Structure 1
C-alpha cells in the first residue's frame, strides 16, 4: 500500500517525472514502462547507471513494452509530453526551461549520468511540479537529488528497499528524506498515473 508521509499544498500540477535507478534498474524500468497507459501525459526523465563506453539499448527495450515512445534526447531538445527520455551513456541529463540539456559535465560521485544532477536541475527548474523517484541500485546516487526535489516543493517516491533487487539506493534515500510515498514497484505505475491525473484535473 502506498504510504503518504507528508502533506503538500494542493493545486500544483505534477507533470514532470524524474527517475533514477542503477543495478536491477532495467528490469524495474521495463515493468514500470509496461504499466503506463498510452494517455500518460507527463514526460518521464530517466537516469540509469550504465558503462560509459557501451551503447545503451534501453530506449529500444522500453519502447518494445511500453505504449509510450522512449528515446535518448538531443541537447537542446524541446520537452514533449508522454515521452520516456533516457540519459545517453556518459552524459548528464538536465532540464532547463522547456528544454533538455545533454552534457558531459564533471562526474558526480563518480557517475555520469548522475541521478542527483537530473533531480537537482528538475527541482530548480520546475519546483512543485516535479515527482522524483528512486528505484533499485547500489550506492547512494539520487538521495541528495531527492532532497532537492522535496525542499523545492516536489513529491518524492522511493521504492520499498524490501522490494528492490538492490536495496542500497532506496535505503540511502530514506536516510536523507521522509518520502511522500514508499511503494513496491508494482504500485509505482498506478501511483504515477493517479498523481499526474490529479494534477491535470486541478488545472482544468
Structure 2
C-alpha cells in the first residue's frame, strides 16, 4: 500500500473555488490518492466532499478513521478533526488545534512526509497566515515533491508566500497548470517505484 503515490493539499480562505477547479482537472485514471485539508469552522458540518464531488470524476468522500489509501480516491478532512495518514490508511485525531485550526494542514503534511516520504506530493493553495509552510518543508526534507500556487493569482496569498519563504519549493504553478503537473509527477513516482522493485 505504501507504493500508492499520495497528493496532500492544503488551503484556507478562498479555497472552495480553487479546490473545485483543481479536482475538475484530475482524470478518471489518476493513479494517486488525494487528501485535502481546508480550514473549517468546528461547529458546522462540512459539505466540502459533496461540493467537490460535483466537479470531480473521482470519488470524493470524507476522511474517516481507518479508510484505505487507494489510487483514484479523494478524501476531505471533516470538521473539528485532524486528518493524518498511516501506512495504507487514514486516521483522525481530535488533538489540539495547530495554527488555530483543527483540521490543520501541517498535521496532515507531517504525517504524509513521515510515512510516504518520496511518494508524497504536497500542494499549498490560497489562504491566510502560514499553516502548511512547516509541513511542506518536511515533505521536501524527506524526499517528496512540493508545489505552491502562484501567489500572484491566489485570492489570499499569505499561505503561498509563507510556504515559499519557509523552504525551497519544487514548483510554483498556476492553478490551470496543476492537473497536468500532478499527473506527470505521479506517473514519474510510479515509474521509479516499479524500477526499484
Q: What's the TM-score bracket when you normalise by the shorter of the two chains?
A: over 0.9
Q: Which runs of 5+ in 1 are unaligned?
A: 1-12
1:107 aligns with 2:97: yes
Secondary structure in 2 aligned to 1:65?
A: coil
Distance 1:31 1:176 in 2: 26
Q: Decide whether the 8 Å contact of 1:14 with 1:199 is kept in 2.
A: no
Name which of 134, 146, 152 aligns with 1:156.
146
Once residues 61 and 95 of structure 1 are traced to their aligned partners in structure 2, the CA distance between those partners, rounded to angstroms, is 23
1:178 to 145, 160, 168: 168
Q: Distance in 2 between matches of 1:59 and 1:140?
A: 24
Give distance in 1, aligned partners of 2:84 and 2:77.
9
* 191-200 vs 150-159, greater mean Cα deviation: 191-200
Offset at residue 128 of structure 1 (A) = 0.8
- Name the SS of the counterpart of 2:45 in structure 1: coil
Within 5 Å, which residues of 2 pair with 1:75-114? 75-114=65-104
Tell me, yes or no, if the aligned pair for 2:6 and 2:121 is still in contact at 8 Å.
yes
Moved >3 Å (runs of 4+): none
Partner of 2:45: 55
The answer to which structure, 1 or 2, has the higher relative contact order (CA under 8 A, 6+ apart) is: 1
1:5: which partner in 2? none
1:54-91 CA distances to partner (integer Å, 9 max, x unpaired)?
A: 11111111111111010112212221211110000110
TM-score by length of 1: 0.91
Distance 1:23 1:191 in 2: 23
RMSD over aligned CA atoms reads: 1.2
Aligned to 2:14: 24
